[in-house]
Chain A
Amino acid sequence: MTERIGVYVCHCGSNIAGVVDVAEVARWAAENLRDRGVVIARDYKFMCSSAGQQLVTDDIKEYDLNRIVVAACSPHLHERTFRTATARGGLNPYLCELVSIREQDSWVHTNKAAATAKAKALLAGGVERVRRNEPMEPIKVDINPATLVVGGGIAGISATLEIADAGFKVYLVEKDPSIGGHMAQFDKTFPTLDCAACILTPRMVAAGTHPNVELLTWSEVEKVEGYVGNFTVTVRKKARYVNEDLCNGCGVCQEKCPWKVPDDVFEVGMGRRKAIYTPFDQAVPRIPVIDRPNCAYFKNGTCKACEKFCDANAIDFTQEDQILTLQVGNIIIATGYDLFDARRIPQYGYGRLPNVFTSLEFERLCSAAGPTNGNIVLRDGKTAPKTIGIVHCVGSRDKNYNAYCSAICCMQSLKFAHLVMERTGAEVTNFYIDIRTPGKGYEEFYERVLEEGGHFVRGKVADITDAARLPGEEGKLIVQVEDTLTGKQRRIPLDMVVLSAGLQPRQNAKDAAKLFGISCSFDGWAIEKHPKLDPVATMTEGVFVAGCVSGPKDIPASVAQGAAAAARVLGMIQQKQMNLEPIKATVHAEHCSGCRICNTMCPYNAISFIEAEGVSSVNAAMCQGCGTCVAACPAGAISGSGFSDEQVLAQIEGLLRLGADGEPLRRTAYPATHHEAIEEAVRA
């Protein structure tokens, strides 16, 4: 086929035309790229306008064009626009190529001559590339309407309920014995001071009893295979030693179990639970779990108190882990966060000084269902503190630990300050760097705490010690801080200090990212497809994120993300089928030697080896189109559509057609005859 190429150079108002001589670029292309197939080259004020697009559509018919190059803005902005216009003209949309002469030229260069020369070179690259473009068709795949939600915190619950209410099946997998997540541990929520349990538990129950929801608590995802629309997920359902079908959740077993152990998870070490337990009273499901390492029967072979008292005969010491295989079309990851370990800042004394608490411990202290029934007392369990300090930004906004802002700690600290003053009348001092209250009603809440008489000291706490030096410090915790508003060093004696610890990615975040085939930042937060415009999608089609897994968020944001992810999934389900970008790798079996180098290269396990034929094969739906295998294949047997060797090599030739001065580049290319002559000479 002879290439008949239409070239369009956009002015973008004065955005491009102000620096690049667009008319000259079009003239040059028409004149000098004629032998490269350019039939018509135009410049136009706004190519993306309907009139501009019409130019393309009309020219295709009038000049019988079979390739289009638009030199305008970034392909990330208008590639789709011009591909659509190309398709309207009756051409395959992938025969259109966009050349960025705005973001990569007119906006970043000032020398008009050099920018015009560069625009010509970029255009020549686009022309050479488009000559090698192949017509492509989007790949269609069916969407399984079932969805997997990983993580039963508030984000995961929100996503689950949205999808289930729309009438589709959801598997909700939670690693703990109950859903609820961190929110279940909180006492009140800022800034409205709703009781966390009161607003959360109805949603937990709704998720737990929904006919479309299959709750898999005390379970973990072990393997994810497949691709968008067709994932096969392997889940390990850990042995509860309680038959879920028989148990009625009466709780007698927990009452009768004689073994109490510290509860390091839900009560963060502040309370105790039995060896058979549900994490908290409102747990969903209400089916307990036997803590095997602490159960007397499993340790010594005697006891079985729970079994004796269970009227439903639900206790089953012989239960084993179950491996479930789920078929789902989409996955929402809502695995949340870990609290920053305050022990990492030794000068704050957490773990050494008994009356230094973490924020999560303090939540449990405040909670009416907590270990102290909501009494704010010192670690001895009885003394009410008269003075409390709250240290902000512990482990956050600190290059030694986490450089980012954890987003929720300011409001959480203000909430603590309010609760302390309301319930105990104790004096509260906040130690802050900056107060950040960017939410609806947040600033008003800050004002309220100020009016209630909370003290605020602006400065990063240097040290918390029990070494009294001055009168009045004996028996107290002394906070050493520079008050940056007065410019003075201060020693403030307090009865109790609460460390507002930051949020950080789950300890296993990177392994989890690998498991689901998504990427995460250096810190470990999941990376969204686009931080602003696509915040719940990931680079892996069919895998979405919601809540703190992609960064610190408060409850409203997590709920919104859960619902947003659900909306994205519902959109996929509703389509029943979806189009995948045809940027894929293909193995040409006749060139494949079966060396299997590409098999291990693929991050998505999309390449498998067909033993019978002795060649590798790419699963087009699993392939994400990165092209690593294409580059790695020693036989050149893999081609990458959309970014083929031919396209890139041709683009390189085109880009290097002109030198920096806009004159033809004198280069080191040897003509083929020359090669042969040299090789022959060398052989001889």
Chain B
Amino acid sequence: MSAQAPVAPASTEGATPAASPAEGGLFEPVIIGFTCNWCSYRAADLAGTARTKYPPNIRLIRLMCSGRLDPTFILKAFSEGADAVLVSGCHPGECHYIEQNYKALRRFQLLQRTIQALGIEPERLQLVWASAAEGVRLAGEIARVTEEVRALGPLNWPAARLVDVDGVDLDAAWEATGGDAAGPPEKAGGANPDHAHGNHAAVVEAVK
């Protein structure tokens, strides 16, 4: 997809991407939340109906069940720029599809290991069970996760943090380096290039 008004890629070296300098410089993470249609999405609805406040950093996606959560979705969210992913479903034993949330739990645990291997802190992938009655609880958990991710700072992919959404400029820069395996040095941000590419290949593999 394309975006408008691309941010200058190379000039922000060292600055925190996606920060919100307009409001006092506090880092404002973007978090993708996966909810199930029956419990956690309804909990979010209930939080709304009860006017329970929580930070605006989370953006929820509704699935029918947490069991629908394809690990690809989580990796996609990270690769698209999310600083964290929150997975939420019915409490164990209360799944509306009998026991599919257990499958989500298994995938979550495996993914936690996978993302660590990719160099992502485990705190960036969190699991919260919330019943349809737990609007306040879900709001509280979202606030907690937001603060934890804020403390972690932005998700800095090695060599990747300077890549703009369109990548047009980067491509040009890439060509300019002659496709050296070490990557465009002025864009690597000091990260170990091998490491960067290892991660990259793994992500490519995983997302596929």
Contact = CB atoms under 8 A, between A and B. Distances in A.
B72 A645 contact: yes
Nearest to B21: A661
B170 interface: yes
A645 B165 CA distance: 21
B56 A624 contact: no
Contacts of B161: 666, 668
A111 B65 contact: no
A642 B121 CA distance: 32
B68 interface: yes
A678 B182 CA distance: 9
Nearest to B34: A648
Given A105-B56, A122-B59, A674-B171, A630 B96 contact: no
Nearest to A105: B56
Contacts of B105: none
Contact of A663 (B7, B54, B70, B183): B7
Contacts of B97: 519, 539, 603-604, 624, 626, 628
B98 A517 contact: yes
B44 interface: yes
Interface in A534-548: 539
Interface residues of B, number: 89
Nearest to B98: A603
Contacts of A111: 56
Contacts of A517: 98
A670 B38 contact: no
B179 interface: yes
A667 B165 contact: yes
B52 interface: yes
Interface stretch (A84-92, A113-121, A282-290, A300-308): A113-121
Contacts of B117: none
Nearest to A538: B96
Given A32-B4, A35-B2, A671 B171 contact: yes
Q: Is the interface of B mostly helix, strand, loop or mixed?
A: loop
B129 to A, nearest CB: 11
A110 B167 contact: no
B22 to A, nearest CB: 6
Contacts of B60: 100, 104
Contacts of B79: 667-669
Contacts of A512: none
B94 A527 contact: yes
Given A104-B44, A108-B53, A674-B167, A659 B20 contact: yes
Contacts of A665: 18, 30, 80-81, 165
Nearest to A76: B45
Nearest to B146: A660
A625 B103 contact: no
A652 interface: yes
A639 to B, nearest CB: 11
B107 interface: yes
Nearest to B22: A661
A643 interface: yes
Given A645-B70, A656-B32, A660-B18, A103 B59 contact: no
B165 A109 contact: no
Nearest to B19: A661
B76 A114 contact: no
Nearest to A522: B93
B87 interface: no
Contacts of A649: 72-73, 76
Interface in B1-57: 1-7, 12, 17-23, 28-30, 32, 38, 41-42, 44-45, 47-49, 51-57
B181 interface: yes
A548 B7 CA distance: 61
B167 A656 contact: no
A103 B204 contact: no
A651 B167 contact: no
A601 interface: yes
B63 A36 contact: no
Contacts of A671: 166-168, 170-171
Which 5 A/B pairs are nearest by Cβ-Cβ distance? Answer: A667-B81, A103-B48, A627-B68, A628-B67, A660-B28
6 contacts: A118-B56, A628-B65, A631-B69, A631-B70, A645-B72, A649-B76
